[in-house]
Structure 1
Amino acid sequence: MTRDDERIAIVGGGLAGALLATLLGRRGLEVTLYERRPDPRIAGAERGRSINLAISARGLAALDAVGLRDQALKRALPMHGRMIHPLGKGLDFQPYSADGERAINSISRAELNQALLGAAEATPGVTVRFSQRVTGVDTAAGLLLLEGPDGPVTERAGVVLAGDGAYSAVRRSLAAGGGIDDRQDFLEHGYKELTIPGRGATPDDPGDFALDPDALHIWPRGTAMMIALPNLDRSFTCTLFWPKSDFEALDTAAKVRAHFETHYPDAARLMPALTDDFAHNPVGSLVTVRCWPWVRYGQGSIVALLGDAAHAIVPFFGQGANCAFEDCIEIDRLLGEAGGDWAGALSRYQEQRKANTDAIAAMALDNFVEMRDRVGSPVYRLKQTAQHALERRSAGRYLSRYELVSFTTMPYAQIPRRIRRQNQVVAAGLLGGALLAGLAARRLRRRPGRRRGCARVGT
């Protein structure tokens, strides 16, 4: 193999790409990371495109592997539960864990991306190239196709790892050549970001939080909802998840203000820039990507997809970044087990990860329905209370789906099976209890008959 054939190219300098570059650089490998954007540490984040991250156990384990866990937690705010804002009723806080101690962590996507890029650049062997738009790959020739300032250019790469997002140019390039089943399923809903500033905020003082910062706030409204996550500057990043037709219908500032005062009255009072944010922040799409295979072997190179490029999911379980980070950890681990054999490592990577990403994609879609429809229901609240009671009494033998996803690193694909087994045990216990109660009742009814002729005492 020539030196160029050994080059490792990572496409996409987002969260997953920057993490993977650091992991591979620490193995002593030469890695070039290509990012289409200018350096975000200089240019700043795109307006209305953050969707604050909820980093939990899986993401924290990955950050720990590159020494960034503590730094990230210092810049994050723990959220110990959901704060439900029902229309016309009082607030309802729903803790995430039975003991009330576990929390997911609200952190700025842009800030975490910047920290990961800094870690990648500081790793020997890693080169980061910004404003480099990769348009595709030629696996037969082992070429990476780029759009440069003077037109198309090519560069050789023996291993291409594509973490370039849900609308991956590398995935499109592979699909165009055949051999990859690439399916994208869009929700009818879109998303738009708004802001609740700190209460009493001024240019020199962020003020205080206008809402409880220890919670992820949800305004469930049936087919639509709004959520809000706290930021260190005492503001909240709010995200609307609405049918796209609802966004289109609010085409004047007056309509926007009237809609919010009707459907989100407590939040509307806290949004001085509501109409400006609504008018200027873009509407994003919500897509689930299902493609297979994730790895393409050519005569000149191996190409693998990871993160959203391989399996984008909707954000309603807060697992998009956590799941992508797990991909990076698995690639790094399997490469070590394979003794540096990329073909073997990547083959095992796609085989082991596919079932897990399919499982979290399904759970994320279901959680959307839960967040917008169920969380405000008394039946849901009663079910959650019963689950937490079981968790407290079972010493870890019973855990809710939310706890298994967010507070453990159990493979996603094992979680539905675990939940089914738990439910079967609980159902069997309830049935057994009912049978025992029935037998006890029958014995009590029969007791006087067996003692006929004896005087009854204590009637």
Structure 2
Amino acid sequence: MPKVLIAGAGLVGALNACYFAQKGWDVEVYEFRPDIRKMEHVPGRSINLALSDRGKAALEGVGLKEYIVQQGVPLYGRLVHDKDGKTFHRIPYGQPGQHIVSINRRHLNEVMITLAEKSPNVRFFFEHKVKSVNVEKQELTVICDGIELTQKAELILGCDGAYSAVRRSLAAYPRFDFAQEYIEHGYVELNILPKNKDFALEPNAFHLWPRGDYTMIALANRDHTFTVTIFAPFRVFEEQMSNDSDIIKFFEENFHDALELMGRAHVLETFHRVRPQSLVSIKCKPHHFGKSVLLTGDAAHAMVPFYGQGMNCGFEDCLVLSEIIDQHANDIPKALRVYSETRVKDAHNIIDLAMYNYEELKDLVNHTSYKLRKKLDLILNRWLPETWIPLYSMVTFTRIPYSQVVQNRKWQDDLLRRVHTSLFLGFLAAGSAIGYLLVKKRNLL
């Protein structure tokens, strides 16, 4: 059987290992970090993620869907908290029953690594830093204890995240397009602890505090805690949250209800301990190189987290790649070309949608026009379930390719615009006709 080398044992790398283990391939996974199953604390990324249908489909492909979903907390819509700290309103995600699932990142990663390792043809090499890839020789070079090791395989997957060493070593590859953008906003993570051994907030909702240029969210965890994340421009962190009194003042003015649940001491301790983290968006084209090298997950398409699709898109990468390899009977060069041709445009579209959705989360959810459009979309979806699917539902509750999602939304917007124009012209014509008849009647009198 062929051999695959996987750079990175994070979520996408581990799931790819599971897929290739099922195919019977020889699998070697190289990871810079120690084995997270043996670590007391894993630094870095958020502890919870939002799993939607694309991610579920990918997990189902390796037999993990039901178990992982049971380990999470279902979220049926957004609960938008007003600035007064007392009132809120609900925005359902879709039709009754449709939901996403808040899951624990670390547990999910550990489960996939363990599942992959059950196969005798899979080996994980932790504390091995990926240095570079050689496309022509089909080789991956890693460093362990200061010693360089070079491995060769029919397929090499770069699953080593937004700051991918594999992608970096391909920077000079002919006709490789790469774009990186840091947005002006950063984030800080906080926590809400259980209240009387239970959730301090309603657990089955995505809690949202939109405040125009900044926002805060909270997702429930199975241990009855909430992971809270505040997103704001770096200048806001620097100018309005530079000392203890300013931090507390900022939270009291904007997130009073959440501050009472988190506690002032916890908020101050967190801001003393961590600095706001940056958010990067990355596009590249192509995703494949030569006959054997492929970028997947954040290494190929890092995106801001505001559509909850980073993990789901990365997991769908694994499923799509597996399906295409099967369709082409392990013809790796052909499979990589086909994969790259289809996946690049989808990746670029969801990256753009994620950028757009931040405008929605931090401000648009408070606008009457936004609320009316959401209600109209759901009504039309109930009447025409196969024809009219809301944007969020297409992204979250289907596997419609992201590029097709964007085209469908454009069609919907154009149709509503034409209907609106027709109604306006109709009312204008009716008004003119009525006016003409009234004038004519008056002249006759």
Q: Same fold (TM over 0.5)?
A: yes
Match of 2:387 among 363, 373, 397: 397
The 5 Å alignment of 1:334-353 reads 334-353=324-343
Q: Rg bigger for which structure?
A: 1
The 5 Å alignment of 1:19-418 reads 19-47=15-43, 49-50=45-46, 52-88=48-84, 90-97=87-94, 99-177=95-173, 179-200=175-196, 207-249=197-239, 250-272=241-263, 273-297=266-290, 302-418=292-408
Report the Cα offset of residue 435 of structure 1.
7.2
**CA offsets 1:222-276 (integer angstroms, 9 cap, x no match):** 1111111000111100111111233334343333222211221111111132111
Opposite residue 211 of structure 2, the aligned amino acid is: R
Alpha-carbon distance between aligned partners in 1 of 2:105 and 2:338, rounded to the nearest angstrom? 30
Contact 1:45 1:110 in 2 (8 A): no
Local SS of the residue matching 1:278: helix
Contact 1:50 1:110 in 2 (8 A): no
- Structure 1 residue runs of 5 or longer lacking an equivalent are 201-206, 449-459
Which stretch of the first structure deviates more once superposed, 240-249 or 229-238?
A: 240-249
After superposition, the Cα gap between the structure-2 partners of 1:397 and 1:149, relative to the gap in structure 1 and judged at 3 Å, is same
Local SS of the residue matching 2:407: helix
After superposition, the Cα gap between the structure-2 partners of 1:444 and 1:248, relative to the gap in structure 1 and judged at 3 Å, is closer
Alpha-carbon distance between aligned partners in 1 of 2:96 and 2:336, rounded to the nearest angstrom? 40
Local SS of the residue matching 2:289: strand
Report the Cα offset of residue 34 of structure 1.
1.1
Local SS of the residue matching 1:233: coil
Contact 2:47 2:106 in 1 (8 A): no
Which stretch of the first structure deviates more once superposed, 417-426 or 210-219?
A: 417-426
**CA offsets 1:312-353 (integer angstroms, 9 cap, x no match):** 111100000110111111111111111111100001000010
RMSD: 2.5
Alpha-carbon distance between aligned partners in 2 of 1:318 and 1:224, rounded to the nearest angstrom? 17
Identical residues among aligned pairs (%) = 37
Report the Cα offset of residue 93 of structure 1.
1.1
- Structure 2 residue runs of 5 or longer lacking an equivalent are 439-445
Report the Cα offset of residue 70 of structure 1.
0.5
Alpha-carbon distance between aligned partners in 1 of 2:436 and 2:286, rounded to the nearest angstrom? 67
**CA offsets 1:145-177 (integer angstroms, 9 cap, x no match):** 112113333223332101100000000011145
Opposite residue 286 of structure 1, the aligned amino acid is: L
Report the Cα offset of residue 368 of structure 1.
0.5
Contact 1:48 1:194 in 2 (8 A): no
Alpha-carbon distance between aligned partners in 1 of 2:288 and 2:420, rounded to the nearest angstrom? 47
Aligned pair count reads 437
Report the Cα offset of residue 429 of structure 1.
4.7
Contact 1:164 1:309 in 2 (8 A): yes
Opposite residue 164 of structure 1, the aligned amino acid is: D
